[in-house]
Structure 1
Amino acid sequence: MFLTLERASACPGSLSNFGDSMINGPRCVFVWLACTLLPVANSIPSATAGDAWTGWLGPHRNGWVADFSPPESWPEQLSLAWKINVGEGYGTPLVSGDRVYQHARQGEDEVITCFDLASGGEIWKRSWPVPFEIGGGGERHGAGPKANPVMADGRLFTASINGVVTAWDAESGDQLWQRDERKRFSINHPKWGASCSPVVDGNRLLIHLGNDETGALYAFDVASGETIWSQGDKPISYSSPVVVELHGVRQVIDWNRDDVAGVDVETGKWLWSYALKHVDPDQNSPTPVQHRDTIIIGAENRGIRSLRPTKTDDGWIVEEAWVLEDLAMNMSTAVMNDGRLFGLSHYDSGRLFCINADDGSVPWQGRPRLGDHATFLAIPGHIITLTDSGELRVIDAAAEEYQAKATYTVSDSPTWAAPVLGANYLLIKDREHLLRWNW
């Protein structure tokens, strides 16, 4: 079973963001059949021992796919191996060996399901009630979960839409521990729900918890869930932390509602900060990106800037390496590839961009009106981008103008979760389904 290269948007009445419609026309019927007649008979390669996609943007939270070798020529089409209804939510699927894990919502419950990567067969499933009412203009985005899970040392960690952090045994699905900081913060999420994805560094699980008025950056012990340290009283944002090393100091970069901050991973000591406040309705959402000794931040309606934190004898100072006012990022996180930053500016109804990360120059911008959202992965010589319309593009990362090497329609439903690219497969989480495509 194959999916054609033609975009679903070419079909009359194709799906728009989080809305349903009829699909008409013979070509559209073929696409619909390709996505719904399951199971699909395919020769599915088994997973390799090296298959591991353990969290938001991968093992190092930078979008780099280490075990994918680009083909000399990209295939005209992909084959659909399986498609499963897993529920709603933004969480990326995780892969470990021959298993894939998905955190999602089914009705009033949040669920984690473990599947066999080759066949899509269910291995175990856990569910628990998480009632949540989304409002204030965020209804079309659903009730989550919006945070991405993370895996480390045989444990799976989830952050629910209400900010509750839970550890699970990845083999059995047994719950290991849970932290509910509603004991400290009566409301433990920002207005539209918690979307801060936890990250693991050594024996610490790092996550910012709280609400629009107050909060704190936490380091939980991965084995016990006990607090190793908590830092500050800053309100939470929709961004997720990333762990980097700057000037020999390992630190977590935390973009909260008020500022971008560097915090010592070992001690929780506040090292430096740069004011970049959430100003209604402009929210703080993308994950910070490291480039050498700089941290790059894109803020809704507030440009893209490169920050250079420097350690001195008198403490840390932060300088702006460059600032671009003509580009800005709303919810999409950019990725690096060979010194270039690739992402989506929300100006002009969505426009892809390429920025030289050293000096902030812009080799190219794509056409306007791409859409509200896109996620990105980096592979040698290429950028993989998945738009919210279910279109996957393979972009030349070295070209001096926008060049798409291949384009695939991988879903007829909105795709806000980041894809997973394996050595010979592609995992897509759309509004309600998890799909495996084979190269």
Structure 2
Amino acid sequence: MKTGFPRLVLISAGMATALSTAAPGEPAWTGWLGPDRDARAQESKLPPTWPDTLQQVWRVEVGEGYSTPLVIGDRIFQHARIDDKEVMLCLERATGKSIWQQSVPISFKAGRGGERHGLGPKSTPTYADGRVFSLSITGLLAAWSADDGELLWKRDFRERFEVAHPYWGTATSPIVDDGRLYVHTGSCEDGALFCIDTRTGKDIWVRDEEANCYSSPRIETIDGVRQLVELNHSGLYGISLEDGGLLWKHSFPHRGNNQNTPTPARHEDTFIVGAENRGMFAVKVQRTGAEWQVKETWKHREASLDMSSPIVQDGRVYGFSHFKTGQFFCLDAESGEVIWKGDPRMGENAQFLSLPGHILALTDDGQCRILKSTGDQYDVVKTYQVAEDRTWTAPALLGDVILIKDLKHLTAWRFP
């Protein structure tokens, strides 16, 4: 049954012009960090000269949470919390007006120290084959029809685990590949990686070797072998998509309150990883015959990642260190050498997008910075105020419009 919420209202129509529907061949924003989980928005329509201000197209109240909006054709899908329910919203891409919305009651108590981050959701849904798959802060997985919002199936992992989420709530985002959904659920003490049939919601295989954490997996092809790469509670793992078997691993365990949260970045056959208070490192993964080799190529504590995921562009790693009370940095992906560091005290978190010749950085205080991705110093081209604050959510960018989710609102901004 579809449900309505009077709090979901159109705040402003903004500009008279509307967002166009996705042109044939234009990539959709289908999940966490985009279609390939690399935060690349290289086909965006950027201005030849960055304007002094952005145009607000529309702004709607959608509820709380850190879930990134999905963009599929002429529709936007937003997962959020309104009162005691998590809701899945389908909005018109052109206007932000509601097409349909569904809800599930989700009761959650934030762990000590996490109260300021709200009650979720923190996971970003994923889209595939006409379906949107959401994961609640408590670990409830649901499949929705993108067309009309029908609930097709759901899985409550509390049937398997006494606690189906890590201490501060579920933050990992599911991923779909070739009709299979992969999601790691459970607690910091007990967890499992599930491979699930997207049509039925039934298990294809389950790997119950590692506890859960807050990071989201990637699906990568390495030396001709397509596999799931995840940072779990124990370290960085390569998992067979076929049967869940372990291909390779590199130990990097979650320690105390220093959790494994960022999504690893990839440069050629190297993965760049970091986590709270434990610095950063890179491992090169290669296969010789049937044997896999994992070699750590660099490691240092010049920067350290808390909840911000790094990105790679043109052989450089861009990220946000929690050292120095928040600091942008740029590293050489091959050597780990620090190319530059930004100013200290920039905030608690930042999210990144890779643009042609630039890096877009959204900090948690509502500031969107356009950084040059060339040169040997921190170079800010423009800074835009896109929200009052609480912009912990990763943005989505297609064409000339960027979607910004703040504490309760979703806003569409255009680069004029």
TM-score by length of 1: 0.90
Q: Does 1:318 align with 2:294?
A: yes
Which residue of the other structure, out of 383, 396, 401, is the alignment partner of 1:420?
A: 396
What is residue 85 of structure 2 aligned with on the other side? 109
The 4+ residue runs of structure 1 with deviation greater than 3 A are none
Q: Corresponding residue for 1:93?
A: 69
Deviation at 1:313, TM superposition (A): 4.2
What SS is found at the alignment partner of 1:286?
coil
| CA–CA distance in structure 2, aligned partners of residues 37 and 299 of structure 1 | 38
CA spacing shift, 1:378–1:110, aligned 2, 3 Å: same
Partner of 1:368, secondary structure, is: coil
The residue that corresponds to 2:22 in the other structure is 48
Residue segments in structure 2 that go unaligned for 5+ positions in a row: 1-9
User: What is the letter of the counterpart of residue 133 of structure 1?
Assistant: K
| In 1: Cα distance, 2:290 partner to 2:357 partner | 41
Note the C-alpha offset of 1:37. Answer: 6.4
CA distance in 1, matches of 2:401, 2:190: 42
Return the match for 1:360 from 336, 345, 360: 336
CA offset at residue 38 of structure 1?
A: 2.3
Shift of 1:131: 0.8
Tell me which of 249, 252, 259 is aligned to 1:273: 249
Give the counterpart of 1:303 among 273, 279, 287. Answer: 279
**Residue 257 (structure 1) aligns with:** 233
Q: Given the alignment of the two structures, is residue 200 of structure 1 paired with residue 200 of structure 2, yes or no?
A: no
Look up the match of 1:437. Answer: 413
Counterparts of residues 22-101 of structure 1 (less than 5 Å) = 38-49=12-23, 50=26, 52-101=28-77
Amino acid at match of 2:190: T
Offset, 1:317: 2.5
Structure 1 residues 271 and 112, CA gap change in structure 2 (3 angstroms) = same
Contact 2:22–2:72 (CA<8 Å) still a contact in 1? no
Q: CA deviation at 1:44?
A: 2.1
Bigger shift: residues 124-133 or 230-239: 230-239
Q: Secondary structure at the match of 1:348?
A: helix
The number of equivalent residue pairs is 404
Deviations 1:127-147 (A, max 9, x none): 110011113111000010011
- Name which of structure 1's ranges 48-57 and 341-350 shifts more when overlaid on structure 2: 48-57
Are 2:373 and 1:397 aligned?
yes
Deviation, 1:41, is: 4.1
Partner of 1:179: 155
Deviates more, 1:43-52 or 1:181-190: 43-52
Distance in 1, Cα, partners of 2:243 & 2:104: 34
Give CA deviations for 1:93-149 in whole Å, capped at 9, x if unaligned: 000011111000011100011110111111000011001111311100001001111
Task: Give the CA deviation at 1:164.
Answer: 1.0
8 Å contact from structure 2 (residues 39, 352) kept in 1: yes
Give the whole-Å Cα distance in 2 for the aligned partners of 1:41 and 1:310: 51
Residue of structure 2 aligned with 1:120, choices 96, 107, 117: 96
Q: 1:41 to 1:423 in 2, by over 3 A?
A: closer
Structure 1 residues without counterparts, runs of 5 or longer: 1-35
Per-residue CA deviation, residues 211-265 of structure 1 (Å, 9 max, x unaligned), is 1111111111111111111113211001111111111111111211112110011
Aligned to 1:159: 135
Which amino acid counterpart does residue 226 of structure 2 have in structure 1? Answer: R
Contact 2:403–2:413 under 8 Å retained in 1: yes
Deviation string, structure 1 residues 10-40 (Cα, Å, up to 9, x no partner): xxxxxxxxxxxxxxxxxxxxxxxxxx96233
Q: Contact 1:375/1:418 (CA < 8 Å) preserved in 2?
A: yes
Look up the equivalent residue of 1:44 and give its one-letter code.
Answer: A
Of 309-318 and 121-130, the range deviating more from structure 2: 309-318
Distance 1:382 1:327, change over 3 A: same
Q: Is the 8 A contact 2:11 2:60 kept in 1?
A: no
Within a 5 Å distance, the mapping from 1:333-412 to structure 2 comes to 333-412=309-388
The 1:314–1:149 alpha-carbon spacing in structure 2 relative to 1, beyond 3 Å, is closer
3-state DSSP of counterpart to 1:363? strand
- Find the counterpart in structure 2 of residue 290 from structure 1: 266
1:201 to partner: Cα distance: 1.1
1:148 partner SS: coil
1:264 corresponds to which letter in structure 2?
A: S
Q: Any conservation in 2 of the 1:344–1:374 contact (CA below 8 Å)?
A: yes
Displacement of 1:288? 1.0
Contact 1:231 1:270 in 2 (8 A): no
The 8 Å contact of residues 216 and 234 in structure 1, kept in 2 or not, is answered as yes
Contact 1:90 1:416 in 2 (8 A): yes
Partner of 2:3: none
Q: Is the 8 Å Cα contact of residues 44 and 397 (structure 2) preserved in structure 1?
A: yes
Partner of 1:140: 116
1:305-332: per-residue Cα shift (whole Å, max 9, x none)?
0011222346222110111222110000
Q: Is the 8 A contact 2:258 2:277 kept in 1?
A: yes
Distance 1:71 1:306 in 2: 35
Check conservation: 2:31, 2:126, Cα contact below 8 A: yes
Structure 2 distance, partners of 1:361, 1:318, is: 20
The answer (yes or no) to whether the contact 2:229–2:236 under 8 Å persists in 1 is yes
The aligned amino acid for 2:261 is S
Q: Which residue of 2 aligns with 1:18?
A: none
Q: Calculate the TM-score normalised by the size of structure 2.
A: 0.95
